[in-house]
Amino acid sequence: MEKAQAYIRIHELREILNEANRLYYVENSPTLSDYEFDMLLKELDGLEKEYPEYISADSPTRRVGSDLKKEFEQYPHRYPMLSLGNTYDISEVQLFADRASKGIGNSFTYSCELKFDGTAICLTYRNGKLFRALTRGDGSVGDDVTRNVRQISNIPQSLTLPAGFIPTSDIPAPWPQEFEIRGEIYMPWAAFDRLNDERIEEEEQPFANPRNAASGSLKLIDSRMVANRGLECTLYHMLGENLPFSTHDQALKAAEDWGLPVSDKRRICRDIEEIEDFINHWDIERKNLPYATDGIVIKVNELPYQEELGYTSKFPRWAVAYKFKAEQALTKLISIDYQVGRTGAVTPVANLEPVQLSGTVVKRASLHNADQMEQLDIRIGDYVYVEKGGEIIPKITGVELSQRTADATLPRFPEFCPDCGTALIKDEEEAKSFCPNQTGCPTQIKGRLVHFLSRKAMNVIAGDATVEQLFNKALVWNVADFYDLKTEHLLMLDGWKDRSAGRFIKSLQESRKVEFDRVLYALGIRYVGEATARSIARHFGNIDAVMDASVEDLLTVDDVGQVIAESVHDFFTEESNREIVSRLKAAGLKFDMGETPQKLSDGLEGKTIVISGNFSISRDEMKALIAAHGGKNSGSISGKTAFLLAGEKAGPEKLKKADSLGIRVLSEEEFMDIIGGSGEAESADSENGIHTSKGVQLSLF
Ligand SMILES: [Zn+2]
């Protein structure tokens, strides 16, 4: 790969992995399977090794994902809470063992343990009582979830004295006055299935896997609810000052004696053969465990040797995780449905002969797109391998060609929308086929309606079936129609009574309080997810500014690239969408951020300004300052640009372009003069060594 390409790929990978980390740790709804994630991480690591000039401290290769949430108090970890280096390859376990042997130089042992698939926890016991429980957080700071952890039944509030231990005034207890013990909080399969059944009943999104269910439950705000989630804990690493143990195994045995939950499924191994035996045994046996495991952890058992080997910035050098490949099942492909989604993308979905996989019966699996079908060379009637990744719907990963029969038929990806008959368009970049009939394709319309009402959007209580009925009875065609619904309309629906209709109308009424960023998300603009909607809403402040924004304007928003900018611009160019917005406005929905920034002057009214470089205040503050004086920010220079405001290290391309178009270039000082700032006040401040934001000073004028 060429250097320029590597640079682009590195940034692309970091973006994908950071977003995947956020979805995984904060939203608890993963988009990538662990395997996919680990492979991308490996690719990034390889590129960073090849091009060390692009290494950055905040790369996902050097940072653990963060689960921090603002709802919880945060405390620093006494010892950094790192993750483990992991591999799917037994030869890398061998390499780990070789490195450890070389580093230690003496004979030593390994402790092999199950890798529980849950969420990491760090418990502190002080004087034998549970004092605090922190999540991993970002590795150095964790969320305080002590209240919730107290609801988990197998975590003791107080330690118990081992049988035969007689306390004396010299040795009052066998445990250190204070120590930390780390482990995993997980949700057993039975509790997981029960929880998801309840969620489906309540029309809530089910959790993708027990791990997400566990971390979501641990972060519940109402700790009473945690008690009903059936969480369990297993502990695997004790830390403290001068612990009286020489091996990790002794420490865990002691913890067990004190009443702490420690897994009995571990073994002390002497060499790689014994490690491999342990791995192979559990790769099969784990299917019979009542909880999810995703691998084996191999640790150097002797504590002095652990210390000797030490840590990298992200991993301990004395431990490694071997991860099992996702569980597979072999079954017959009966047929393929082609489903149209909310954005018009047509996805092939396989109907399978029911088969047992990771604790559930699988009947349907995703095939992603036409390219993947071709790659797999799949036929109707084939025996196929299915795997569960991070998503609820499993995917087909391979075809067992040895079992193909003569009557297996080649599937044909449709050329026309299975729903409305419009010719499909293929998006080469995404390898997906789209139905372009956005305003007339029933599935797309219904998909947008369902999205609009969904919990993260307008949060209106209604199931897909309600939307289906409203649409079929021609009561709702676009999202604005919801707000014209009257009780008598709703009573036309099957099984609806005054009470359910009243509840729905009230829920719609409530949705008028939903903040602008979520309303913008609810509109269902392609590629605009929650986070992007928030950035756009904050940047522009109100819908009119968003609707009038050019692609260049949109590109100045953080996290908005060309594809998103074009998508937003196209959406609002469509007259029908503008009409929907004006009807929603009339219905009373929130279309501005509320806190309109204080208007300081209209000195820049009608002027479009481009900024470049660094200023004494942040670029966002500078943009806000321009807006507060009535000016308009733009990302690129054109004939309409009033002037280029150039700070330190202004972009040479921009300066050149301004020069060629004869556009004035202003320094920060000149700009401050224009809007009424004064150089004197600033120099006085710098003499006093006080850094005052000029925005603050200006508001005084
Ligand atoms: Zn269609």
The Å distance, Cα 527 to ligand 1 centre, comes to: 19
Report whether pLDDT(341) > 50.
yes
Determine the pLDDT at residue 685: 36
Q: CA-CA distance, 140 to 122, in Å (whole number)? A: 12
Handedness of CA 456, 460, 464, 467 (dihedral sign): negative
The Å distance, Cα 423 to ligand 1 centre, comes to: 8
Q: CA-CA distance, 528 to 563, in Å (whole number)? A: 10
Determine the pLDDT at residue 639: 83
> How far is the CA of 228 from the CAs of 151, 206, 569, in angstroms?
9, 16, 47
Rg (CA), the chain: 30
Domain annotation for the chain: domains and CATH numbers: 3-54 (1.10.287.610), 74-323 (3.30.470.30), 328-413+422-433 (2.40.50.140), 442-513 (1.10.150.20), 516-586 (1.10.150.20), 608-698 (3.40.50.10190)
Report whether pLDDT(684) > 50.
no
DSSP 419-449: TT-PBPEEETTTTEEE---TTT-HHHHHHHH
Residues that place a CB less than 5 A from ion ligand 1: 417, 419-420, 422, 435, 437, 441
The Å distance, Cα 446 to ligand 1 centre, comes to: 11
Q: Which among 479, 663, 652 is positioned nearest to 576, based on CA atoms?
A: 479
Report whether pLDDT(691) > 50.
no
pLDDT above 90 as % of the chain: 44
Bridge partners, residue 237, by sequence: 182
The Å distance, Cα 422 to ligand 1 centre, comes to: 6
The Å distance, Cα 435 to ligand 1 centre, comes to: 5
Amino acid type, 99: R
Determine the pLDDT at residue 483: 95
What is the per-residue burial (b if ≥16 Cβ within 10 Å, else e) of 21-55?
bebbbeebebbbbbbbbeebbeebeebbeeeeebe
Determine the pLDDT at residue 565: 92
Average pLDDT of the residues in 422-445:
85
The Å distance, Cα 425 to ligand 1 centre, comes to: 11
What average pLDDT is seen over the chain? 86
The Å distance, Cα 337 to ligand 1 centre, comes to: 14
The residue from 3, 42, 70, 115 that is catalytic is 115
Determine the pLDDT at residue 392: 59
Report whether pLDDT(509) > 90.
yes
Q: CA-CA distance, 26 to 23, in Å (whole number)? A: 6
Note if 115 is an active site residue. yes
Kindly report which listed range (247-256, 456-465, 521-530, 681-690) carries the lowest average pLDDT score: 681-690
Average pLDDT of the residues in 642-654:
87
Determine the pLDDT at residue 640: 85
Determine the pLDDT at residue 64: 65
The Å distance, Cα 577 to ligand 1 centre, comes to: 18
Q: Which residues, including other chains, have CB under 8 Å from residue 333's CB and lie 6 or more apart?
A: 350, 351, 352, 378, 379, 380, 381, 382, 383, 384, 396
Report whether pLDDT(697) > 60.
no
3 state DSSP class of 261: coil
Tokens of 386: 């299915």
Kindly report which listed range (486-495, 553-562, 672-681) carries the lowest average pLDDT score: 672-681
* Tens of pLDDT, residues 553-590: 999 887 788 888 999 999 999 999 999 999 999 999 99
The Å distance, Cα 365 to ligand 1 centre, comes to: 22
* Tens of pLDDT, residues 369-393: 888 888 889 999 999 999 876 455 7
Determine the pLDDT at residue 694: 34
Specify the higher pLDDT residue, 265 or 12: 265
pLDDT above 70 as % of the chain: 91
> How far is the CA of 610 from the CAs of 128, 302, 555, 621, 655, in angstroms?
62, 62, 12, 14, 11
β-bridge pairing 141-143 and 74-76: antiparallel
Determine the pLDDT at residue 27: 67
The Å distance, Cα 466 to ligand 1 centre, comes to: 21
The Å distance, Cα 4 to ligand 1 centre, comes to: 40
* Tens of pLDDT, residues 103-152: 998 999 999 999 999 999 999 999 999 999 999 988 889 999 999 999 99
Determine the pLDDT at residue 686: 34
The Å distance, Cα 439 to ligand 1 centre, comes to: 9
Kindly report which listed range (129-138, 263-272, 436-445) carries the lowest average pLDDT score: 436-445
The Å distance, Cα 572 to ligand 1 centre, comes to: 21
Q: Which residues, including other chains, have CB under 8 Å from residue 567's CB and lie 6 or more apart?
A: 525, 526, 527, 528
Q: How many CA atoms lie within 13 A of 351 on its CB side?
A: 7
Kindly report which listed range (84-88, 410-414, 429-433, 585-589) carries the lowest average pLDDT score: 429-433
The continuous run of DSSP H or E covering 366 comes out as strand 360-366
Determine the pLDDT at residue 682: 35
3 state DSSP class of 371: helix
Which pLDDT band, with edges at 50, 70 and 90, does 204 fall under? low
Amino acid type, 18: N
Average pLDDT of the residues in 23-38:
72
Report whether pLDDT(597) > 60.
no
* Tens of pLDDT, residues 52-61: 888 777 788 7
The Å distance, Cα 672 to ligand 1 centre, comes to: 54
Q: CA-CA distance, 355 to 332, in Å (whole number)? A: 9
Average pLDDT of the residues in 481-485:
94
The Å distance, Cα 441 to ligand 1 centre, comes to: 4
The Å distance, Cα 460 to ligand 1 centre, comes to: 26
Average pLDDT of the residues in 256-262:
96
What's this model's pTM, rounded to 2 decimal places?
A: 0.53
The Å distance, Cα 340 to ligand 1 centre, comes to: 7
Determine the pLDDT at residue 683: 34
Average pLDDT of the residues in 47-74:
78
Q: CA-CA distance, 629 to 602, in Å (whole number)? A: 5
Q: CA-CA distance, 401 to 420, in Å (whole number)? A: 35
Q: CA-CA distance, 602 to 638, in Å (whole number)? A: 22
Tokens of 133: 């429980």
What is the per-residue burial (b if ≥16 Cβ within 10 Å, else e) of 440-464?
ebebbbbbbbbbbbbeebbebbbee
The Å distance, Cα 333 to ligand 1 centre, comes to: 25
Report whether pLDDT(30) > 90.
no
Average pLDDT of the residues in 451-461:
89
The Å distance, Cα 465 to ligand 1 centre, comes to: 20
The Å distance, Cα 345 to ligand 1 centre, comes to: 9
Tokens of 511: 């949705």
* Tens of pLDDT, residues 391-413: 557 889 889 999 999 999 999 99
Average pLDDT of the residues in 296-307:
95
The Å distance, Cα 364 to ligand 1 centre, comes to: 22
Determine the pLDDT at residue 185: 97
Nearest 5°: phi and psi at 433? -100, 135
The Å distance, Cα 443 to ligand 1 centre, comes to: 7
Kindly report which listed range (79-83, 97-101, 623-627) carries the lowest average pLDDT score: 623-627
